[in-house]
Amino acid sequence: MLSMCLEQIDLEQIGTEDLLVVDAMITDQLEIQQVKLTRTVALNSNNSMQPESNAQIWIEGNDNTRIDFIEDKLGTYKTEQPFAAKQNTNYTLRIITNSGREYQSATSIMTPTSPIDSVYAEFESFPTVLNSRGGFFNFYVDTRSNTQNNKYFRWFWYSTFEVVVPTPSRWLWTGGNTYVIRERGSENDSLQVEICYNSDTIRQINVKSLLEGEQEVIRQPISRFHSDSASMKRRYSILVKQYALSEESYRFWSLIDESTNQGSLFDIQVGTIQGNISNVNDGGEIVLGFFEVVQAQSVRRFYTPRDFRNTSFREFNPNVVSCSDEEPIAIELDKIGEFMEANKEYYTLCYFTTFPPAAIFCKIRCAVCTEYANSNNKPDYW
C-alpha cells in the first residue's frame, strides 16, 4: 500500500508561511511540456498566488535524458522543443529557485491509460421566468473497455466555441480619413472580426477511483454550462483528456479537491498537503504539488444547436449579442478622421454606402468579435 504524508497547518501559520507550489504533469504527447511555480499568499489576501521566477528546472530520466525548461512568462516554464515522455522510464523533476533552494521530486513512471469509449452531451431543462426553454448542457465520459484495468482516473477538458457579431466591421480605420479592408476572405482576412473563437483550458480537479469490483467508468461528469451563455449559439467543441493515475497521485489530488473551494492547486489552501516534492537540504519544508508522468487518451466532439432539437432547448439568436436597438451612424467621407478621433472607444467602421456616399459606423460591441473571444483565427481542428 502506498502512503503519503498529510500535514495540516492552522490558519495563522499558513497566513504567514511562504510555500512553494509546483504544478508539473508531463505527458506522452509530443508537445511543449510545462511546469508552473508559484508562492502561497496569506489567507486574508485578495491576491492570487505569486509567480516564482528565475528558477532552473529540468527533468532527468533513468535513460540518461535531461530535459530543460525555460521561463516563458513569470512562473511558467516550458521545454524549448516538443518532448514526449516514454513508457518504462523513470523521471525525476529537479528545481533550483532563484534563492538557491534545491528541490527534487520522487521518481515517477508512466501508468498506461485505457482509451475513452465515448464523450456525450445531454440537455437538462431548467426553465426560468426569463427563459422558459433554458437549461444546462451536461457533458459525460464513458470508459467501458478498461483494457489497462485502471483504478484511478483524472480528466482535463478544453472547450472552444464560435462567436459571431451581428454587424461586423469590414473596414479598419488607420488614422485620418484612411482605412483598409478587413473583410473575411479579403487580402487582410487575418484582421477580420466577424467570426471569432473562444477557447478555455479547464484544469479543475476531476478525479475518480473505481470501487472494489468496478471495471467501468460510466457517466462521469466532465463539464456543465447554462444555455444562456454564448457557448452553444453556433458551434461548440470539447476536447476531453483522460489520464490514469497512481494511487499516491489520486490520493493527493483528492485531498487537494477536498481542501479547496474551486478545485485547483492554485486556490488558497485551507490546510497544507504534502505531495511528492521536497527540499533536498531541508526535509521539514512543506512543498505543495505533485510531479507525475502520464499517458493521455483524448476524444474531441463537436455540437451545434441542431443536435439538441429533440429537447426543449432553442437558440433564437445565433449572434453573441443583440443589437436590434443600435442604430448605425452615417458620416461624410471627409469627416471620418474627425469622427473617429472623438469616438474610437465606442465605434468602428463597418461599411460604405454609395448614394449618398458615406461611411457607416457601428458600435464596437456589435461589430468586433474579439470583444468576446480570444482569437479571430480559425483553429486547425475546426
Q: Tens-of-pLDDT digits for all 382 residues of the chain?
A: 344 444 444 444 444 468 899 999 999 999 999 999 999 875 555 566 799 999 999 999 999 999 999 999 999 999 999 999 999 999 999 999 999 999 999 999 999 999 999 999 999 999 888 888 999 999 999 999 899 999 999 999 999 999 999 999 999 999 999 999 999 999 999 999 999 999 997 778 899 999 998 999 999 999 999 999 999 999 999 999 999 999 999 999 998 888 765 555 555 454 567 799 999 999 999 999 999 999 999 999 999 999 999 999 998 899 999 999 999 999 999 999 999 999 999 999 999 999 999 999 999 999 999 999 999 999 999 9
What span, in angstroms and rounded, lies between the C-alpha atoms of 330 and 194? Answer: 20
Could you tell me which of 281, 178, 199, 299 has the C-alpha nearest to residue 242?
299
What span, in angstroms and rounded, lies between the C-alpha atoms of 374 and 188? Answer: 19
pLDDT of residue 272: 64
Phi, psi of 352 (to 5 degrees): -120, 150
Q: How far, CA to CA in Å, does 318 sit from each of 27, 48, 89?
A: 37, 36, 50
Contacts of 220 (CB under 8 A, 6+ apart): 140, 141, 142, 143, 153, 155, 206, 208
C-alpha cell at 105: 521530486
| Antiparallel, parallel or unpaired: β 76-79 and 358-363 | unpaired
What span, in angstroms and rounded, lies between the C-alpha atoms of 346 and 348? Answer: 7
- In what side-by-side order are the strands of the sheet with 329-331? 329-331, 358-363, 347-353
Alpha carbon 157 to its chain centroid, in Å, reads: 8
What span, in angstroms and rounded, lies between the C-alpha atoms of 238 and 159? Answer: 5
Burial class (CB in 10 A: 0-12, 13-18, 19+), 226: middle
Could you tell me which of 201, 169, 188 has the C-alpha nearest to residue 351?
169
Which amino acid belongs to residue 284?
G
pLDDT of residue 163: 97
What span, in angstroms and rounded, lies between the C-alpha atoms of 239 and 243? Answer: 13
C-alpha cell at 334: 471627409
Residue 164: helix, strand or coil by DSSP?
strand
| Backbone φ/ψ region at 185: left (φ over 0), alpha (ψ -120 to 50), beta | left
pLDDT of residue 259: 76
Burial class (CB in 10 A: 0-12, 13-18, 19+), 178: exposed
Provide the whole-model pTM.
0.87
Please state, as a whole number, how many other Cβ atoms lie within 10 Å of the Cβ of residue 19: 18
pLDDT of residue 64: 95
pLDDT of residue 201: 79
pLDDT of residue 6: 43
pLDDT of residue 5: 45
| Backbone φ/ψ region at 299: left (φ over 0), alpha (ψ -120 to 50), beta | beta
Residues in the chain: 382
pLDDT of residue 270: 45
Question: Which parts of the chain fold into alpha helices (H)?
Answer: 11-16, 247-259, 336-343, 364-367
pLDDT of residue 131: 86
Diameter of the chain measured on Cα atoms = 82
pLDDT of residue 3: 41
